[in-house]
Structure 1
Amino acid sequence: MAAPPSPPSRGSESPFPAPLARVRLYEQVAQQISAWISEHDLQPGDKLPAERELASRLGVSRATLSQALVALEVIGAVAVRHGDGTVVAKSPGPSRIVEAVRAHADRLPEIIETRDALETKIASLAATRRTDEDLDRIETALLSMEIDVKAGGRGVEGDEHFHAAVTAAAHSGLLSRLMGEIAHLIRETRIESLSQPDRPRASLAGHRAIADAIRAGDPESAARAMHAHVEMVSDVAVLRST
Structure 2
Amino acid sequence: MANHQFDFSENKVSRKTLAQQVEEKIIDLLITNKMKPGDKLPPELELVDMLGVSRPVMREAISSLESLGIVKRKTRDGTYFTEKISSKPFSAMLSLMSGNIEAIIEARMTLELGLVTFAAEKMSENELDQLQATIQAIEESKDDNYGEHDLKFHQIIAQSVANPILQGMMDSLHLTHAKVNTRIKFREKEKTVEHHLAIYDALKNRDSVRAYQEMYNHLTFVREKVLQTEE
Amino acid at match of 1:158: H
The answer to whether 1:152 aligns with 2:143 is: yes
Whether the 8 Å contact between 1:111 and 1:186 is mirrored in structure 2 is no
Q: Deviations over 1:64-90 (max 9, x none)?
A: xxxxxxxxxxx99xxxxxxxxxxxxxx
Structure 1 length-normalised TM: 0.52
Whether the 8 Å contact between 1:124 and 1:222 is mirrored in structure 2 is yes
Amino acid at match of 2:207: D
The answer to whether 1:161 aligns with 2:138 is: no
- Corresponding residue for residue 187 of structure 1: 178
Once superposed, which parts of structure 1, at least 4 consecutive aligned residues long, lie more than 6 Å away? Answer: none
* 1:56-95 to 2 correspondences below 5 Å: none
Whether the 8 Å contact between 2:151 and 2:177 is mirrored in structure 1 is no
Q: Which has the larger radius of gyration?
A: 1
Amino acid at match of 1:223: Y
The answer to whether 1:222 aligns with 2:215 is: no
Closer, same or farther: CA 237–113 of 1 in aligned 2, 3 Å: closer
Superposition RMSD on alpha carbons, in Å?
2.4
* 1:196-235 to 2 correspondences below 5 Å: 196-197=186-187, 199-235=188-224
Whether the 8 Å contact between 1:203 and 1:233 is mirrored in structure 2 is no
Whether the 8 Å contact between 2:116 and 2:158 is mirrored in structure 1 is yes
Closer, same or farther: CA 240–161 of 1 in aligned 2, 3 Å: closer
Closer, same or farther: CA 160–173 of 1 in aligned 2, 3 Å: same
Q: Deviations over 1:124-147 (max 9, x none)?
A: 111011111111111111111111
- Corresponding residue for residue 12 of structure 1: none
Cα distance in 2 for residues equivalent to 1:181 and 1:161: 14
Whether the 8 Å contact between 1:116 and 1:230 is mirrored in structure 2 is yes
- Corresponding residue for residue 84 of structure 1: none
* 1:21-170 to 2 correspondences below 5 Å: 106-148=99-141, 151-170=142-161
Amino acid at match of 2:170: M
Whether the 8 Å contact between 2:124 and 2:160 is mirrored in structure 1 is yes
Cα distance in 1 for residues equivalent to 2:102 and 2:230: 13
Which 5+ residue runs of structure 1 have no aligned equivalent? 1-20, 22-74, 77-102
Q: CA deviation at 1:241?
A: 4.9
Closer, same or farther: CA 227–238 of 1 in aligned 2, 3 Å: closer
In the comparison of the two structures, how many residue pairs are matched? 138
Closer, same or farther: CA 241–182 of 1 in aligned 2, 3 Å: closer
Identity of paired residues, percent? 20
Cα distance in 2 for residues equivalent to 1:241 and 1:183: 20
Cα distance in 2 for residues equivalent to 1:237 and 1:210: 21
